[in-house]
Amino acid sequence: MQQRASQRATSDPEHPANLSAQRAAAAIAEATGVERHDIALTLGSGWGEAAKLIGETTHEIPASKVPGFHASQVAGHPGTISSIRTESGKRALVIGARTHYYEGRGVDAVVHGVRTAAACGAQTMILTNGCGGLNPKFSAGMPVLISDHINATATSPLAGAHFVDLTDLYSPRIREIARSIDDSLLEGVYYQAPGPHYETPAEIRMMSTVGADLVGMSTALEAIAARAAGLEVFGISLVTNMAAGIQETALNHEEVIQAGKDAGPRISRLLADIIAAL
């Protein structure tokens, strides 16, 4: 019996999601003249400026010009895809246009950036985000390495009998490199909630109990798709607020943007140094 396309495994290059990523990669290659990118980064809340120190931005493409990408709905997300040449001559693809699960465009849209990165030839996927902190060792403005995740979206970017191992999903090798650059960096388990609402204090207590240190609305689904596509994954969060009930004041997106601005120079330098050391 013939399977419907939507039921086929996403490891199949003919799957519509992979064809869409190949079209995006072709558009990026055409707009930049760069046939292969080595590294890709997705910039989350607070990380919008952080790619500037990585190298020279040679091309900047509005996300709406690349198949499958959408203009950002979130303030503080640039909505562009850029190509950067690092000092060592590597090519970095910077995806400043993340589709979040809460936008309701489906999981394939959420991981389109990751699949496009793989189709552009990238070997490494760097996922950044802004998030809430649960672990009392953390405070607003602190970058934290993601050591593992809890995917609480109740879905997967993969379909079909595609059983992907997620042990050591967040590259121990690159985490070690990061700590060799800044030995004060802490690590934590990231909990991806579906959003778009923030949590209640009771939910935050539950998440702490099940082992979460960080909570946000991205990254886990993207990391799964990246691993499935064979990429080495590195995740880093900027704690922009302490989670509901841990911080005394109500949560708002303005503090998220402000924390990003305040931490900007430190996290930019850190990201640039990590990429230079890969």
Which three-class secondary structure state does DSSP give residue 244? strand
Task: Identify whether 196 is preceded by a cis peptide bond (ω within 30 of 0).
Answer: yes
Binding ligand 8IG by CB under 6 A: which of 68, 132, 143, 264?
132
Q: ∠ CA(43), CA(45), CA(48), 5° rounding?
A: 50
Per CB under 6 A, contacts with ligand 8IG among 242-261 are 243, 251, 256
Q: Is 198 near ligand 8IG (CB under 6 A)?
A: yes
Q: Which residues contact 183 (CB under 8 A, 6 or more apart)?
A: none
Nearer to ligand 8IG, 55 or 216 (CB): 216
Pairing of strands 124-133, 39-42: parallel
Binding ligand 8IG by CB under 6 A: which of 18, 45, 80, 83?
45
**In this structure, what token pair is assigned to residue 245?**
């009930």
Cα 168 to Cα 180: distance, rounded to the nearest angstrom? 19
Task: Establish whether 199 is a catalytic residue.
Answer: yes
**In this structure, what token pair is assigned to residue 74?**
């979130």
Provide, rounded to whole angstroms, the least separation between the CB of residue 237 and ligand 8IG: 9
Which three-class secondary structure state does DSSP give residue 13? coil
Q: Is 275 near ligand 8IG (CB under 6 A)?
A: no
Nearer to ligand 8IG, 43 or 118 (CB): 43
Provide, rounded to whole angstroms, the least separation between the CB of residue 245 and ligand 8IG: 10
Q: Is 219 near ligand 8IG (CB under 6 A)?
A: no
Sign of the CA dihedral 149, 154, 158, 161? Answer: positive
In angstroms, the Cα distances linking 118 to 88, 174, 185, 202, 205 are 21, 18, 28, 39, 37
Per CB under 6 A, contacts with ligand 8IG among 4-43 are none
Q: Is 72 near ligand 8IG (CB under 6 A)?
A: no
Q: Which residue out of 187, 199, 203, 222 is catalytically annotated?
A: 199
From the list 67-75, 150-158, 178-186, 213-221, the region that binds ligand 8IG by CB under 6 A is: 213-221
From the list 1-9, 158-166, 177-185, 195-203, the region that binds ligand 8IG by CB under 6 A is: 195-203
- Given the rule CB under 6 A, which residues bind ligand 8IG? 45, 130-132, 193, 195, 198-199, 215-217, 240-241, 243, 251, 256
